[in-house]
């Protein structure tokens, strides 16, 4: 177990290191350099030289990278000239709102997808299974923003049930104060995620149903609700732990689109506007933070899996 943990953690650190190299490389191979991006195409060569000297861009690339890494390790993600704020403070303001959106969608998606997958596995190849499989196939193929538009048409334009715009407050508290505004963004992200999770849950539950211990449990008289909750659910949840970690990048991609569509001022919205205004420090800082969250999430999922299922750690060592 310790060996597995050490190996897995050092892998995660290596991955994070490469992320910083990639992000640094993208920043420095920008056409026209950061100085051009900031000072504009009419900047004089003297102004660019002055900017580069003031910001250390005239030093050798390896030195610049080490300085960049040093700032990162000390929590300095860079400075957005566009917003005249540090990227860290922008993040502190907007990350919690995205976490609310993504977190709520994850919770609802799991609450729907887990029973859905188990029902499909129990009714395998019957009408209900086909209908639900069809639903997840279509849900999986739907552009997230189009799903959002359809929900807007149905619940905001045709019937004025929910507002077409997400909560506009600056804090999570303000966002929670407008629950009606959260409904459509959360619903959009939830449906997309359910489509993805239920397919895994279905095949995971089918695998479990074919196992010997289920046959044994049935032979011992376990049936119905007891069989499902005690034996099928617990065992088929294991792969879902990994899936929750692995799906984070995809769900965050969805969050960018949902925030842009519903004008919800979270991290995804900020990233989107930063891409439009070429605000590279924001793009870079957020990419690093999101990648770190994914790597750490995957690491925790793997460790959690190893703790939950002894077979994993024996295989790995």
Partner 1 sequence: MTTQVSAGQSAATGPVTGSGGWREAVTDFAQNKMGVAGLATIVLMLLFSFAGPLIYHTDQVHPNMLLITQRPGANHPLGTDNVGYDVLGRLMVAGQSSLEVGLAAAVIAGFAGTFWGAIAGFAGGWLDSVMMRFVDALLAIPSLLLVLLLAAIVTPSVFMIIIVLGLISWLTTARLVRGEVLVLRSLDYVKAAHGFGATPRQIVLRHVIRNVIGTVVVQVTFEVANAILLFAALSFLGLGPPPPAANWGGMLTDGLNYVFSGYWWLIYPAGIFIVVTVVAFNLAGDALRDVFEVRLRSRNS
Rounded-to-integer distance, Cα 233 and Cα 76, Å: 44
Does residue number 203 form part of the binding site for partner 1 (CB under 8 A)?
A: no
CB-nearer residue toward partner 1: 14 or 67: 14
CB-nearer residue toward partner 1: 51 or 286: 286
Binding residue (CB under 8 A) for partner 1 from 106, 162, 197, 271: 271
215, 242 Cβ separation under 8 angstroms: no
Nearest to 266 by CA among 90, 146, 81: 90
Does residue number 306 form part of the binding site for partner 1 (CB under 8 A)?
A: no
Binding residue (CB under 8 A) for partner 1 from 3, 7, 9, 18: 18
93, 266 Cβ separation under 8 angstroms: no
Binding residue (CB under 8 A) for partner 1 from 35, 95, 237, 290: 290
State whether residue 108 is helix, strand or coil.
helix
Does residue number 299 form part of the binding site for partner 1 (CB under 8 A)?
A: no
State whether residue 105 is helix, strand or coil.
helix
Instruction: Name the minimum Å distance from CB 154 to partner 1.
Output: 10
- Burial label for 134, CB within 10 Å (0-12, 13-18, 19+), is exposed
Letters for 136-165 (x = contact with partner 1 by CB under 8 A, - = none) are -xx-xxxxxxx--xx-xx--xx------x-
State whether residue 80 is helix, strand or coil.
strand
* Phi, psi for 86 (deg, rounded to 5): -75, 150
Instruction: Give the residues across from 52 on adjacent strands.
Output: none
CB-nearer residue toward partner 1: 176 or 275: 275
Instruction: Name the minimum Å distance from CB 40 to partner 1.
Output: 16
List CB contacts of 64: < 8 A, sequence separation 6 or more: 24, 28, 56, 57
Which residues in 22-81 contact partner 1 (CB under 8 A)?
22, 26, 30-31
Which chain residues interact with partner 1 by CB under 8 A?
11, 14-16, 18-19, 22, 26, 30-31, 137-138, 140-146, 149-150, 152-153, 156-157, 164, 248-250, 252-253, 256-257, 260-261, 271-272, 275-276, 278, 280, 283, 286-287, 290-291, 294-295, 298
């Amino acid at each position: 177990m310790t060996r597995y943990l050490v190996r897995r953690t050092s892998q995660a650190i290596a991955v994070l290191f490469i992320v910083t190299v990639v992000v640094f490389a993208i920043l420095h191979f920008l056409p026209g350099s950061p100085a051009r991006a900031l000072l504009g195409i009419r900047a004089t060569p003297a102004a660019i030289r002055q900017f580069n000297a003031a910001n250390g861009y005239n030093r050798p690339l390896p030195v610049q990278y080490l300085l960049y890494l040093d700032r990162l390790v000390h929590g300095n993600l860079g400075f957005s000239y566009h917003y005249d704020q540090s990227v860290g403070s922008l993040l502190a303001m907007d990350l919690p709102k995205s976490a609310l959106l993504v977190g709520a969608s994850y919770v609802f998606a799991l609450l729907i997808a887990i029973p859905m997958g188990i029902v499909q596995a129990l009714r395998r190849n019957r009408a209900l299974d086909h209908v639900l499989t069809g639903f997840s196939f279509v849900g999986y193929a739907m552009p997230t923003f189009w799903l959002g538009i359809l929900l807007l048409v149905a619940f905001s334009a045709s019937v004025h049930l929910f507002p077409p715009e997400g909560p506009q407050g600056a804090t999570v508290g303000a966002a929670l104060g407008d629950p009606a505004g959260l409904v459509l963004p959360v619903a959009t992200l939830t449906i997309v995620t359910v489509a993805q999770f239920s397919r895994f849950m279905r095949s995971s539950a089918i695998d479990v149903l074919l196992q010997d211990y289920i046959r044994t449990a049935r032979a011992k008289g376990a049936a119905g609700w007891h069989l499902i909750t005690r034996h099928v659910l617990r065992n088929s949840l294991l792969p879902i732990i990994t899936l929750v970690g692995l799906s984070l990048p995809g769900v965050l991609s969805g969050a960018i689109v949902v925030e842009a569509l519903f004008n919800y001022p979270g991290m995804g919205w900020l990233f989107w506007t930063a891409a439009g205004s070429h605000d590279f420090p924001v793009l870079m800082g957020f990419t690093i933070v999101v990648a770190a969250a994914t790597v750490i999430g995957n690491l925790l999922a793997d460790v959690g899996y190893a703790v939950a299922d002894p077979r994993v750690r024996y295989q790995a060592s």
